Amino acid sequence: MAVDDAGPEGPVRARIDQRRGTLGVIVTGTASGPVLNGLRAAAREHGYVLVVFSAPGHGRSAVPAAVAGLRLQGVAGIVLLDPHLAADLPPVTGVPLVPAASADQYEGARRATEHLLELGHPTVWHVGGPEEGAIARARERGWRETLERHGAEVPPVVRGDWSARSGYRAGQSLAVEAGVCAVFTANDHMALGLLAAFTEAGMRVPRDAHVVGFDDVPEAAYYAPPLTTVRQDFVAAGRRTLAVLVARIDGLTAPGDGAVQAELVVRESSRPTRS
């Protein structure tokens, strides 16, 4: 457990009492850094302190213990940072708990798929996240419905678990599949594994296939080749998360949960190449 000093003039600004000015954050995985940084920036703007609870494991079973630990710290509200665990949470009593806001997952997937189709590919393969995850389902739906609108064949989804290892395994299977020339992966870490598998199989990106990821992790610009991906504005998402949580703490109607805009960032992994 760690405490962030989110105020420029001390742990808590004088105008905010300790309980009101302290918020809990549950981090259950290793891929939440950009989301946490966005929330920290938003909290700093409004003079809040964040108490960060790093829960072991990646399942929902870690959440109750994290909530109990944060309640002992007297936090006024809690944010669950991992977007892949934010849906279908069991009820939490005694303290408001909200999932971190995120980009419009469907729209980001639509843009990624449209981009690959515009490069002239007859269809786009998809390496999806866990089927039970709301984020993975939204990204998959954006991919699938975009293909359907264009009258393109919808290939079977190759399922991963958000890790580079699962992306590598997906890449191994796709490298021997006839006609695979465009792939949209549901996150950048799986894209990293996919690129490694393609390279081992003798496939060069972007010469032999174009690849697009999602999230724009800090390392994405340094992949080999640099990865085209969907960027999320994590600071804007942090502000929206904070607004929803503070409204619930105050017993007010939370502001609309409209998603943050997603931006397609085009890099070498999907640049057109000469014949």
Name the residue among 100, 142, 112, 135 with its Cα closest to residue 234: 100
Backbone angles phi, psi at 209, to 5 degrees: -160, 150
Give the whole-angstrom CA distance, residue 122 versus residue 4.
Answer: 49
* Measured CA distances, 202 to 119, 126, 172, 197 (Å): 22, 20, 11, 9
Asked if residues 269 and 225 have their Cβ atoms less than 8 Å apart, the reply is yes
DSSP 121-135: -S--EEEE--TT-HH
* pLDDT by position in tens, the chain (length 275): 655 544 433 433 333 344 458 999 988 755 566 678 888 888 888 888 999 888 755 556 777 788 888 888 889 889 987 655 655 565 667 788 888 887 889 999 999 999 999 999 999 999 999 887 778 899 999 999 999 999 999 999 999 999 999 999 999 999 999 999 999 999 999 999 999 999 999 999 999 999 999 999 889 999 999 999 999 888 888 888 888 888 888 888 777 656 688 899 999 999 987 54
**pLDDT value at residue 54:** 81
**pLDDT value at residue 179:** 92
Q: What is the set of domains in the chain, with CATH numbers?
A: 2-100 (3.40.50.2300), 105-231+264-270 (3.40.50.2300)
Q: Within 182-233, where are the H helices?
A: 188-200
pTM for this prediction: 0.74
C-beta neighbour count of 176 within 10 angstroms: 8
Asked if residues 159 and 126 have their Cβ atoms less than 8 Å apart, the reply is no
